[in-house]
Structure 1
Amino acid sequence: DLYVEISNDKEYNLAAADLAAYLQEYTECTDWEIRRKMRMEALVRFMTLRSLATKGKIVQAVDFIRTFLDSGKKLIVFCSLHEVVDELQKVFPRAVTVTGRDSMVNKQASVDAFQNNPDVNLIICSIKAAGVGLTLTASSNVAFIELAWTYADCCQCEDRAHRIGQKDNVTCYYLLGRGTIDHTIYNLIHRKKSIASEIMNSDDDIPTDEMYFDELVNLFLNTSG
């Protein structure tokens, strides 16, 4: 796990303080219907905060990727935000992608290029689009710029390199924003390894399970407090 400084800490800290205040209201609310509505609003704010943490890591992620590629090895990168994919592609124009915006034909072309072309040393993958079914054994190194909400989803991504034909041990790098929600999510998904991806709303990438959400709230408030 690699802790990195975020470049937008002022913006992030304001949003984090705002969320913490809102969650305090949520925990003190006793009306079930109001709590349900507040939970949906809080989920949106959690998503916003996670996005801010991810955007703040882009500069450090670029440095990490550049240094890694200088070793001559190939690298698989996972994230969720299209904005992150776009920024990485600007810096690494020879990189190929597997995202929700790519057609099936283009996804397969990216996989084939990464697997077979020695000049293609970086593939940038969406956690949702590339989490299942792809074989990326040309690399035994996986980097997460952004975390999935469940341990199961992280394992699915790691398994892209853990396929038949992989000769090396797979190494996973998790880039976590120092002092951000990354730490909360990372701790939660590793404490709740048994939680399946069914707790997610697959369309919106939002955790909808109430018990999971309440634990996320408690962890976040304890960390930020």
Structure 2
Amino acid sequence: GRIAVQDGVELWPTFSWPPERLAFLLAGGEGALLRAAEGAEDDVEAARRQIAALAPEPPDVHIAVAASGSTPFVREAQAEARRRGALTIAFACNPGSPLLEEAELPVPLATGPEFLAGSTRMTAGTAQKIALNLLSTRIMIALGRVYQGRMVALVPANAKLRERARRMVAELTGAPPEAAGKALERAGGDVRRAVLILDGLSPEEAAQRLAAAEGDLRRARGR
């Protein structure tokens, strides 16, 4: 669960994915992020309550993550989400495990025995982190939040990211760094709109063009 949270929390700063479009369910609740709550893995009632509180429905997607593929909390959460109409995707490291068998889109990661027997934070956890990174990044690419290998939808919330945004605008347009920085200011820090401004649009036109392209800079630029 913590591994899924690690990947999910990065979707807003990296891709501007709306936080309200993402929810985390963790055995033991948020407190389990900092302190292990192993007994909570068996609490199927808590799983049902957490799913009920979210009230998933089509076209929501539920992604289940469990190294063993047999954790009661995770299985019950997946089952309840599926009953309510959500698409279910499951990651587990034991091919043929119940979690995978019960998911509509199973993703088996056959990592084999752990170097330290039973310590799934090692091989299994690492494999699941990589798989989740690949899935979320591929989704964001498909949604147009990546352009020419750059995370153009990033949220420039600190000095490092503001410099990265300025550099991206300069690289994508060929504009000098100073001009790229000014375009970013006019675009409210949005790399995609700054690129369109340097393509010759006004800030208002850039915003409208990007909105019409559903945030996809490739579509907005036509190239």
TM-score by length of 1: 0.28
RCO higher in 1 or 2 (8 Å CA, sep ≥ 6)? Answer: 1
If you compute each CA radius of gyration, which structure gives the higher value, 1 or 2? 2
TM-score by length of 2: 0.28
